[in-house]
Amino acid sequence: MNNSHGEGRVVALVPAAGQGVRLGENMPKAFVPVGGSPMLVLAVDGLIASGAVDEVVVMVPAELVDETRDLLDGTDVPVTVVPGGAERTDSVRAGLRAARDASFILVHDAARALTPPSLVSRVVAELRSGVKAVVPALPVTDTIKSVNDAGTVTGTLIRSTLRAVQTPQGFDADLLRDAYAIGIEATDDASLVELMGTAVKTLPGSPLAFKITTPLDLMLAEALMDPQESVRA
């Protein structure tokens, strides 16, 4: 039986093979602890707590595969750990190869360690209702400008039409495999699906699904993990 109470397996791919130099810690970002647990463990726990995921595939630096298997031992759903690649896209491709029997695929950055389980289940519900591609998104609060190589402004984008997208991003598995077969790099998975001309739906994201990238993000994440500040739902 599927965890997610419906036809078709949901497999979550967790790219965690980045070095994360912007965080300034002396280890790959996904292994940096937040509230005492590595980000990767928090991200995987959040996926599993949603009750909507049947299997998790984690992609880590090759030298950390064994350690990660130990770290994620004993979870409620099967977790497969495979080596990632040089770029995020390569890591997701490695995960796709390990998720052959999936009907639906989520791709969820380990760095979004505090993502609420309720967001994961909302993404899966969209997929199960027949949506082929869905991403959590939030309105942007800053005005966004384009610049040239010299840093001179070349344009101002219309803020009301812009969204900052998060993960987990959800896809029909065959669609995502076809999109990856195109063989180009992208900073998120939905952009590859967009290139195929498939509509990508947005649903309301969560401020708690922010990507822990800078030392300031890490301070915020630590504060949110403080038991007295427990806001993660």
- Assess 136 for contact with ligand C5P (CB under 6 A): no
- The length of the chain in residues reads 233
Provide the mask over 59-78, with x wherever binding to ligand C5P is found by CB under 6 A and - wherever it is not.
Answer: x-------------------
Work out whether 56 is an interface residue with ligand C5P (CB under 6 A). no
Q: Which residue number places its CB atom closest to ligand C5P?
A: 18
Q: Which is nearer to ligand C5P, 18 or 168 (CB)?
A: 18
Binding span for ligand C5P by CB under 6 A among 16-24, 117-125, 131-139, 193-201: 16-24
Rounded (to 5) percent helix, strand, coil in the chain:
35, 20, 40
The span from the CA of 189 to the CA of 78, in Å, is: 23
- Residues in Cβ contact with 140 at an 8 Å cutoff, skipping those fewer than 6 apart: 159, 162, 163, 164
For the bound state, the minimum distance from the C-beta of residue 92 to ligand C5P, rounded and expressed in Å, comes to 7
The site for ligand C5P, by CB under 6 A, has a size of 18
Identify the CA nearest to 28 among candidates 1, 59, 56. 59
Residue 18 binds ligand C5P (CB under 6 A):
yes
The two three-digit tokens of residue 233, written as one number? 């739902």
84 binds ligand C5P (CB under 6 A): yes
**CB 78, min distance to ligand C5P, A:** 20
Q: State which residue, 87 or 178, has the beta carbon closest to ligand C5P.
A: 87
Beta strands in 117-158 (DSSP E): 133-139, 145-147, 153-156
As to burial, measured by CB atoms within 10 angstroms (0-12 exposed, 13-18 middle, 19+ buried), residue 59 is buried
57 is a contact residue toward ligand C5P (CB under 6 A): no
Interface with ligand C5P includes 213 (CB under 6 A)?
yes
Work out the burial of residue 13: count CB atoms within 10 Å of its CB; fewer than 13 is exposed, 13-18 middle, 19 or more buried.
Answer: buried
**Residues forming the site for ligand C5P (CB under 6 A):** 15-18, 29-30, 59, 84-88, 91, 109-111, 211, 213
